[in-house]
Amino acid sequence: MDTPSDFERDAMREAVAQARAAVCEPGKAGIAAAVLRDGKIVATGTNHVERDTDPTQHAEIVALGRATAALGRADLGDCVLISTLQPCEMCLAAARFAGIRRIIFAARKENVAAKYFVFPHLTLGDFQGAPPAFAIIGGVMEDDVLDLYEDGQE
């Protein structure tokens, strides 16, 4: 089984800290994401759905958008997506469209409130699609964030 690198684990620790800090800010949910490339954090994002009254502003999509802006290109095929929560269906699709080939997340779908997934019958495997498939590593630092997502009140 694939495992996260030390740098990816450090990036997850940062994302967990951002998620916990976001819980304290009005209009923000405690979900954080980052896009990594060549041992550096290219962009980060937290959930801005309530703040921006925009249902598409999930942490992963915010981070993907910032990463494409920072790199000046839409193809993120050489990047890694990190998230404190298993990406939802919309975020997985966005990651696929961006060319992401590796996703690492903390809290897994089966251990969080149902509200985070509107198509519960879809699995991570359903998003593999056409090659190249992406590597998916879940449950990294899961115990550090489960309290944020267990009742859906983050």
Catalytically active residues, by annotation = 60
- State the Cα angle at 70 between 132 and 50, rounded to 5°: 90
| Cα–Cα distance for residue pair 80/128, rounded to 1 Å | 15
| Cα–Cα distance for residue pair 104/93, rounded to 1 Å | 15
Where would I find the beta strands (DSSP E) of 3-77? 29-37, 40-47
| Cα–Cα distance for residue pair 75/68, rounded to 1 Å | 7
With contact defined as beta carbons under 8 Å apart, do 115 and 103 qualify?
no
- State the Cα angle at 73 between 35 and 124, rounded to 5°: 45
| Cα–Cα distance for residue pair 150/70, rounded to 1 Å | 34
